[in-house]
Structure 1
Amino acid sequence: MIENILETLKNLNFTEYEAKAYLALLEESPLTGYAVAKNSGVPRSKIYEVLDSLATRGDILVSHGITQQYIPIPAKELIKNRRIKAEENFKLAELSLEQFNHSAKNRENIWNIIGHNEILDKVKECILSAERRLLIEVWKEEFKELEAELRKATDRGVLVTIIAYGDIECDFANVYFHDMSNEITEEYGGRWLVFSADDLEVVAGIVSLDKDSRAAWTMHQGLVMPITEVMIHDLYIMEIMGKHRELLEESFGKNLINLRKKFSIHPDYKKHYV
């Protein structure tokens, strides 16, 4: 039992002698330095050096009478202090290393992700690290799986804009509903997902093929910029359609179907990426 406690104290940044001295004081205090050495097994030649270290760190208190005596701070207070110190260290490390957050990742590579769940896991990871803006073009099926992470991003002040395919119910983000979601799903033969975080990284791919789904994740600016701007262009079109639908559909057909047909290379006007 004692050995386990000593190991626990070592994990809290105690040396072996410090752990033995502190534990001896928990069992009985106040004690003189001589008594701590006797009760703990710490060599007398080392005991005052050990006690000074514990006192400097605030783990024990020292009386300043003719004969100095020592008492430990309560175990609960010790744990509380260690927890506070650990949090401070984590915050300091986070701030100190933030400058390397993006440079540490290879910004030149394009990474292939295989599998529906794996793709969404990568998107969730990117959502958690976002700080300013998220753009996502998504079907309702995948939105349900990402909703919790997107909501948390909004709660911490990230601007979330969704280009939605299907009846997505969302009360926390800017949502633009794409017309003819079912027809487009049929036209393309599947569902895709396009995601951009802070104009720094993107995930884009087909997500409706279960384990055979394919997507790419990259921080390569040669892809991040055009993919992000295509999504913004979609938002432009949807804003324009909202203001001038009647005029535009008169020229290009319902939901601009004639434009999609014009730029199709297949006789059936369907896409054949899948």
Structure 2
Amino acid sequence: MPRKAALEERIVAALQRLGFTSSDARIYLALVKRHPATGYELAAGSGVPRSAIYATLSQLESRGLVNAVQRRPTRYRPLEPERLLAQLDARFREDIEELRAGFANLARPAADSRTWTVTGYAAMLEQARALIAGSLETIHASLWRREADALAEPLRRAADAGRRIVLFSFTPLPDVPGRALSYGIPEAELERHWPHRIVLLADRRRALLGGAADSQDNQALVSEDPALVETAISNLVLDITLYGHRFGADTSVVVAGLTTRLAPIEELLARAAPR
């Protein structure tokens, strides 16, 4: 698919996630590209059937998203994209605040709600994106190339926002800002021995860990439980330490950054009286 067509499909998909129908999104996009335009021109430029054009235009006009500017024939122009984005931003901010207030008035969750199971590959990736977007300081992850590619854009945005990123993988990694520790083993070769798995830490306080099989029954855990978060940290520390030994790489800064909340075992051993 040509790059421009792929970009337009991503825009249509994003608008659909925000409540537009496919016809709404395609007609609005066609108007952004060329306006003013008649219904006939929009049918040709949007791929929406002529039989549906005018009903959809009427709905968009009633929502203030398009405006009829000429008669005989009627021509339409879109609400400017920046104004549309501002409206959507305000609407969703209000909805989120209403949800936040509503949930705050519900009964307090049980203690075990700090850990929940995520079923399905797509749901696991959505949780990973949410952890990355919600991080305030650091992101550490052990993952495969396929999952790293799926999370590359959120990771780049996090890096642009000043988050410190460390990625570990037995497979090659994409070009993402931060420190990359990679064995470089081709993914197809590794798949003959191991299933895909993922460990992702946000601020060393929230963790995603578990399977990363591209299937609807894949399961992973998302947790803020200290014991599970510490388990995820320990797994990462072990992988990164072994990487350093095998390749003669200095990973001490990475390990120190991960273990700031763990017990200082070396210090405690030095203080312990000999038996």
TM-score (norm 2): 0.48
- The structure with the largest alpha-carbon Rg is 1
TM-score (norm 1): 0.48
